[in-house]
């Protein structure tokens, strides 16, 4: 039996324990900023499985390390501990959002073109992302078993379970890499994300920035509006140009699609009866493709402000990138801008080819995709210029919904896929980890 046949065998053997571990994680609510319980479970599990090192950083992120017997690349396997709220409980039907029930059910096939009857774990976070994280942790156990059997491992396999991913600003992963790793004197060569991909290799997604435009007016009593300047009326001119003119100039990417902008929040101040508003704040969700940046998106909005101000002396406005103060369950806080880079990695990249070769070696059909949603890989590929891909057992059409579930047959495949990918990546030369 070669090592990849052994990988498939071990993945089958480890599945029951991985399912039970996932159930425990699902049954432990871990909304953003309150992930301690899930972090404790992960630390204990990695310790029980025999990881060489485990630690919790000051931000609450969890790290588990498996060391190879020989020098080689450091590959991060990344998932997140938090989940979105369960929403309206009545919509979950016979399942409980934190129940972690396992049964046989009809669920989408891989490309969502039909249904299949398979075993699945139900509950909030099962697919996004506790089941994927469990598979990465148990792939580590698989590598430990190979190492014990005499297989020579090179480099380091590091599982990183981060906090506060769901708010969308990458703060957990940013603090992990830019703060914790620097303090430890660690670096990394590439990353595999467990974000839902239906076992496809995800190669990119659009970037995101949240501009806030503040339009100013002049307050007056509502009975005498001519004495004031209505900020909302002024803002309506801006909104019209953003909605009807700006998208006509948006570029498109052959893989990621077209850039877009959506108005998401509008607030008038002071927002009281009988008062003409003196300020109108407008939040936008701007998605952009490679070649654009958060800063270039802001400049486009500033150009509209300048155009309106030139035509109307009473028009006054400014634009900025929204910032949030994020508080970790450890008590640490950080202010972070709501932005993330667009990124793509070509399927011909050595890192991608190694992942594909690993999947093929354990009998999996290789398919590729691009995400609609954003992930922490913006930090890795877009900012740090390290290779990364997504590969997860979750199905993205089910996440953030009351129908969230995770196919256990996909768990078996992803455990094998993570381990096989590492076996191929550990053989890559140093220059294979460059991103142009």
| pLDDT exceeds cutoff 80 at 320 | yes
Report, as an integer, the average pLDDT of 297-307: 98
- Per residue in 401-433, pLDDT (tens digit) is 999 999 999 999 999 999 999 999 999 999 999
The pLDDT of residue 168 is: 82
pLDDT value of residue 66: 98
User: Is 161 buried (19+), middle (13-18) or exposed (0-12) by CB count in 10 A?
Assistant: buried
3-class SS string, 108-171: ECCCCCCEEEEEEEECCCHHHHHHHHHHHHHHHHHHHHHHHCCCCCEEEEEEEEECCCCCCCCH
> Which residue do the tokens 């190694």 mark?
354
Q: Residue 436: its pLDDT value, please?
A: 83
| Rounded Cα gap, residues 175 and 241, in angstroms | 38
Kindly tell me the burial class for residue 401, based on how many C-beta atoms sit within 10 Å of its own C-beta (0-12, 13-18, 19 or more): middle
Q: How many helices (H) and strands (E) does the chain have?
A: 10, 25
Packed helices 350-361 and 408-425: angle between N→C axes, nearest 10 degrees:
130
The Cα–Cα gap between 343 and 352 comes to 14
Cα–Cα distance for residue pair 207/346, rounded to 1 Å: 17
**What's the angle, vertex CA 38, arms to CA 8 and CA 167, rounded to 5?**
100
Average pLDDT over residues 25-31: 98
Given a contact cutoff of 8 angstroms between Cβ atoms, the answer to whether 286 and 261 are in contact is yes
User: For domain 211-321, is the CATH number 3.30.70.360?
Assistant: yes
| Segment 296-303 mean pLDDT | 98
CATH number of the domain located at residue range(s) 3-205+342-433 in this protein:
3.40.630.10
| 3-205+342-433 and 211-321 agree in CATH topology | no
Place of tokens 């634009």: 319
Q: How far apart are CA 26 and CA 97, in angstroms?
A: 8
Determine what percent of the chain is predicted with pLDDT higher than 70: 100
Average of per-residue pLDDT across 290-311? 97
Confidence of residue 292 (pLDDT cuts 50, 70, 90): very high
Residues 186-195, mean pLDDT to the nearest whole number: 98
Domain positions in the chain are: 3-205+342-433, 211-321
Contact, 40 vs 114, CB < 8 A? no
Residue 196 has pLDDT above 80, yes or no: yes
Strands 201-202 and 204-205, by their bridges, are unpaired
* pLDDT tens profile 41-81: 999 999 999 999 999 999 999 999 999 999 999 999 999 99
Return the number of other C-beta atoms located less than 10 Å from residue 187's C-beta. 11
| 247-262 residue pLDDT tens | 999 999 999 999 999 9
| Whole-number pLDDT of residue 86 | 96
Average pLDDT over residues 220-245: 97
Is there a contact between 387 and 332 (Cβ–Cβ < 8 Å)? no
Q: Write the pLDDT tens digit of every residue in 254-289.
A: 999 999 999 999 999 999 999 999 999 999 999 999
In this predicted structure, the answer to whether residue 1 has a pLDDT above a threshold of 90 is no
């Amino acid at each position: 039996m070669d090592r990849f046949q052994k990988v498939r065998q071990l993945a089958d053997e480890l599945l029951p324990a991985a399912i039970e571990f996932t159930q425990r994680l699902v049954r432990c609510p871990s909304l953003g900023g309150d992930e301690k319980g899930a972090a404790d479970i992960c630390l204990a599990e990695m310790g029980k499985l025999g990881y060489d090192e485990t630690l919790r950083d000051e931000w609450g992120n969890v790290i588990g390390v498996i060391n190879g017997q020989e020098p080689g690349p450091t590959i991060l396997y990344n998932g997140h501990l938090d989940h979105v709220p369960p929403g309206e409980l009545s919509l979950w039907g016979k399942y409980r959002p934190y129940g972690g029930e396992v049964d046989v059910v009809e669920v989408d096939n891989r490309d969502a073109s039909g249904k299949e009857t398979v075993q699945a774990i139900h509950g909030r976070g099962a697919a996004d992302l506790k089941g994927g994280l469990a598979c990465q942790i148990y792939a580590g156990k698989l590598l430990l078993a190979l190492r014990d059997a005499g297989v020579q491992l090179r480099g380091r396999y590091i599982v990183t379970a981060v906090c506060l991913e769901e708010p969308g600003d990458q703060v957990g992963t940013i603090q992990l890499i830019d703060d914790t790793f620097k303090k430890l004197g660690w670096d990394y060569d590439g990353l595999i994300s467990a974000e839902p991909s239906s076992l496809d290799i995800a190669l990119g997604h659009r970037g995101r920035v949240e501009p806030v435009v503040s339009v100013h007016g002049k307050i007056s009593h509502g009975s005498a509006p001519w004495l004031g300047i209505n900020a909302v009326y002024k803002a309506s001119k801006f909104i019209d140009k953003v909605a009807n003119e700006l998208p006509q100039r948006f570029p498109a990417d052959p893989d990621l699609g077209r850039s877009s902008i959506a108005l998401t929040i509008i607030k008038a101040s002071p927002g009281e009866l009988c008062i003409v508003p003196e300020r109108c704040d407008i939040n936008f969700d701007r998605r952009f493709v490679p070649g654009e940046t958060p800063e270039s998106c802001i400049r486009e909005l500033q150009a509209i402000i300048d155009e309106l101000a030139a035509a109307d002396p009473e028009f006054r406005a400014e634009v900025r990138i929204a910032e949030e103060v994020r508080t970790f369950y450890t008590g640490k806080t950080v202010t972070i801008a709501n932005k993330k880079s667009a990124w793509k990695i070509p399927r011909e990249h050595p890192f991608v080819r190694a992942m594909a070769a690993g999947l093929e070696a354990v009998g999996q059909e290789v398919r590729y995709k691009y995400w609609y949603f954003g992930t922490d890989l913006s930090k890795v590929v877009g900012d740090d210029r390290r290779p990364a891909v997504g590969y997860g057992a979750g199905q993205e059409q089910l996440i953030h919904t009351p129908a969230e579930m995770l196919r256990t047959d996909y768990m078996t495949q992803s455990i094998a896929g993570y381990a096989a990918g590492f076996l191929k990546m550990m053989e890559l030369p140093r220059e294979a980890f460059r991103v142009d």
